[in-house]
Structure 1
Amino acid sequence: MQKFAFTHKLFASAGLLGILMAGTSCEKDSDTNMPMADVVNFNNVQLSSQQEVPENSSNATGSYSIQYDKNSNQLAYTINYTGTTPTAMHFHKGEVGVAGGVEFEVAGPYTSGMKGTVKLTEAQEADLLASKLYLNMHSANFAAGELRGQAVTEDKVVLSNVKLSGKQEVPGNNSTATGTFNGIYDKTTKKIDYSIALNGLTASAMHLHKAAAGVNGDVVMEIMGLKGTTAAFTSAQETDLLSGNLYLNVHSAAQPGGEIRGQVVTDQKVVFASRLSGENEVAPTGSQATGNIYAVYDKSNKKLSYNIAYTGINPTAMHFHKGAAGTNGGVEMEVVGPYSSGMTGSVTLNATQEADLLKGLWYLNVHSAAFAGGEIRAQLVK
């Protein structure tokens, strides 16, 4: 009996020791192997002048990535840029389209590819995970901020500073009203959280329509109010949105078909809408012919897609020229025929041409037999 009791106690002690050791081992694992759900990655967040409030004319570019550890509240970043010399960098609190106060500094020295870490407060963590923080890169030329990028995860798409104007309507109108659309599209919920600012008109209705720049399209969904969340997009509607084939149309009592309009695109695309007229030629031609050019430039592939409409002219040639408004310049690229009103096409630019286009130094010149040097012209401006 005593031998049995001793053996029983020995096995019990060994079992208890095993349990304690297993418990210690599990606790260590939890400390050293952080669950992936506790790490949030913000990969390849784009920096652009278009996201600044207000937008500026810089052609510098950049991107950054963040790995945020929710256990330690540590944010690790890598920042890349080109075309600028930063004098300061900060993370600010503010939604897309809103300029906000500084939350914390990104310490120098500043070089492209720089890395660093910072520890967030609980409030800052909440703002980061709600897409309410942005990186602002300052420079001597743009002291308030040259490049900005909203910190969003890969399942979200920033739609920043979408400009609304009468010249983007088809046909374009002379309304002096303006507007801006800002939002974030969530690929998980398939909804846009948005805000809209309008100046010079009272909206009677607002809709998202399906069509490329320069084309009228059917209504996709109604937009209810100046700030809110859209209805969920279908997969097809999401594809149209992300390819730049949706536009916001703002209706009014004066212009029930639409007073101002804006193509809803990311900051990788730049929208141009300009009026063709003889008054824009140098010297003015006095021609009664008119027209419009609608164009979207895609920075990712350097392609300029255009839609050209006109009346009162039989073009013999069309070219994109380099020159500021009020000056004549050399041909940069031919617009290939055959020519007809509503014609579409695209051209691919080199780096120098891209820089000139984004500086407002390109114009479309439409030639005719009566005006071989150019009858009507339009400066490509944002």
Structure 2
Amino acid sequence: MMKILCKFGLVWLFVALCAACDDHETPQDVVMQKGLPLSGSQEFPAKQTQATGWADVSYNKTTHMLTFTLNWANLTDVPTGAHIHGTAARGSNAGIKFDFFAAVPRTTTGSYSSSVPVDGTSLNESDLLNGLYYFNIHTSVNPGGEIRGQIEFYDQPHVVVKKGIPLTGLQQVPPVSTVSWGTVDVMYNKSTHLLSYFIKWQDLTATPTGAHIHGTATRGANAGIQHDFFTNFPKTRSGEYSNSVMVDGVKIKEAELLNGLYYFNIHNIIHPAGEIRGQIEF
């Protein structure tokens, strides 16, 4: 019996040691985000391109190193520039902070990995963790940038995220019968008070004549415009768009936002009150 207990004791000791090793191999000071999208729709103004891409990023708060892997496909031409830009939220542009073009493959489809110190000068840790830098790949066809991807870390206590919020005609008041649909990804940063969003839509019955955030209103009720983002919104029946807005406590208030009292609405000439709507609910 004692031999059996000893064997079980050794087994549990081995399991505990392995668990301790796993904890050690996953540092608590590292934040990661995989699959950040790169697209022409994130450029400002948005670019029409078949190119796509994604980024995996990791930041170590102890070594202050940002490590990343970029993947891209179907650029209109080989890259003529590749950088991290900042500081800028979605829907605005900024200068180059880290130029890694020299080592990037000159291919329309490719991959590249590198690291950069977050030194407090070119790159600042607070701005990085608040989503104020972005990747940009430039080409001769789109010298200002063909695909862009915001560097955002979602798993942080001051960040709330909701992906795939549906945009439908049935959410309109009164409901609209339409084959059109869409989705919205939203991220709210409680430190910067920025609401960032990435909206996609398909098969509107006519080109958009308005695109807004409305509030305050629950599902089943209507309200006025609080954020008009139509100026740079693509005037296409299907498309994508990315932007951000300050939750300033006047037009948009934090408590009402987190309680689901604002909604996206896309309007057109056939449905002037809105064809598809999506309630912002975290």
Instruction: Tell me if both proteins adopt one fold, taking TM over 0.5 as the criterion.
Output: yes
Structure 1 residues 332 and 119, CA, compared in 2 at 3 Å: closer, same or farther?
A: farther
Structure 2 counterpart of 1:119: 17
User: Which whole-Å deviations, capped at 9, do the CAs of 1:41-70 have from their partners, x for residues lacking one?
Assistant: xxxxxxxxxxxxxxxxxxxxxxxxxxxxxx
Given that 1:321 and 1:331 are in contact with CA atoms closer than 8 Å, whether structure 2 keeps it comes out as no
**Residues 179-194 of structure 1 mapped to structure 2, 5 A cutoff:** 179-194=53-68
Letter in 1 for 2:147: I
**Higher Cα radius of gyration:** 1
3-state SS of paired residue (1:167): helix
**Residues 203-282 of structure 1 mapped to structure 2, 5 A cutoff:** 203-210=79-86, 211-223=88-100, 224-225=103-104, 226-234=112-120, 237-268=124-155, 270=161
Structure 1 residues 256 and 321, CA, compared in 2 at 3 Å: closer, same or farther?
A: farther
3-state SS of paired residue (2:119): coil
Given that 1:164 and 1:260 are in contact with CA atoms closer than 8 Å, whether structure 2 keeps it comes out as yes
Structure 2 counterpart of 1:336: 226
Structure 1 counterpart of 2:41: 167
Structure 1 residues 228 and 367, CA, compared in 2 at 3 Å: closer, same or farther?
A: closer
Unpaired stretches in structure 1, ≥5 consecutive residues: 1-73, 76-116, 132-150, 285-292, 323-328, 355-361
Structure 1 counterpart of 2:203: none
User: Which whole-Å deviations, capped at 9, do the CAs of 1:292-336 have from their partners, x for residues lacking one?
Assistant: x997413879x771579xx98578x753799xxxxxx74587642
User: Which whole-Å deviations, capped at 9, do the CAs of 1:163-188 have from their partners, x for residues lacking one?
Assistant: 11111111222322221211221223
- 1:374 equivalent to 2:274? Answer yes
Normalising to structure 1: TM-score of the pair? 0.43
Deviation at 1:373, TM superposition (A): 1.8
Structure 2 CA distance for aligned equivalents of residues 175 and 273 of structure 1:
22
Structure 2 CA distance for aligned equivalents of residues 171 and 243 of structure 1:
22
Given that 1:304 and 1:349 are in contact with CA atoms closer than 8 Å, whether structure 2 keeps it comes out as no
Given that 1:158 and 1:183 are in contact with CA atoms closer than 8 Å, whether structure 2 keeps it comes out as yes
- 1:200 equivalent to 2:74? Answer yes
**Residues 1-382 of structure 1 mapped to structure 2, 5 A cutoff:** 118-120=16-18, 125=21, 129=24, 131=25, 151-154=26-29, 156-201=30-75, 202-210=78-86, 211-223=88-100, 224-225=103-104, 226-234=112-120, 237-268=124-155, 270=161, 296-298=186-188, 305-306=195-196, 313=209, 318-319=213-214, 330-331=220-221, 335-336=225-226, 341=231, 344-346=245-247, 348-350=257-259, 353=260, 364-366=264-266, 371-374=271-274
Structure 2 CA distance for aligned equivalents of residues 254 and 176 of structure 1:
13
Normalising to structure 2: TM-score of the pair? 0.56
3-state SS of paired residue (2:124): helix
3-state SS of paired residue (1:185): strand
Structure 1 CA distance for aligned equivalents of residues 225 and 82 of structure 2:
35
Q: Identity of paired residues, percent? A: 27
Structure 1 counterpart of 2:238: none
Structure 2 CA distance for aligned equivalents of residues 234 and 157 of structure 1:
18
Structure 2 CA distance for aligned equivalents of residues 176 and 339 of structure 1:
24
Structure 2 CA distance for aligned equivalents of residues 196 and 365 of structure 1:
33
After superposition, the CA RMSD in angstroms is 4.9
Structure 1 residues 244 and 299, CA, compared in 2 at 3 Å: closer, same or farther?
A: closer
Letter in 1 for 2:214: H
Q: How many residues are treated as equivalent by the alignment?
A: 214
Structure 1 residues 187 and 334, CA, compared in 2 at 3 Å: closer, same or farther?
A: farther
Unpaired stretches in structure 2, ≥5 consecutive residues: 1-12, 105-111, 199-206, 233-243, 248-253
Structure 2 CA distance for aligned equivalents of residues 177 and 259 of structure 1:
8
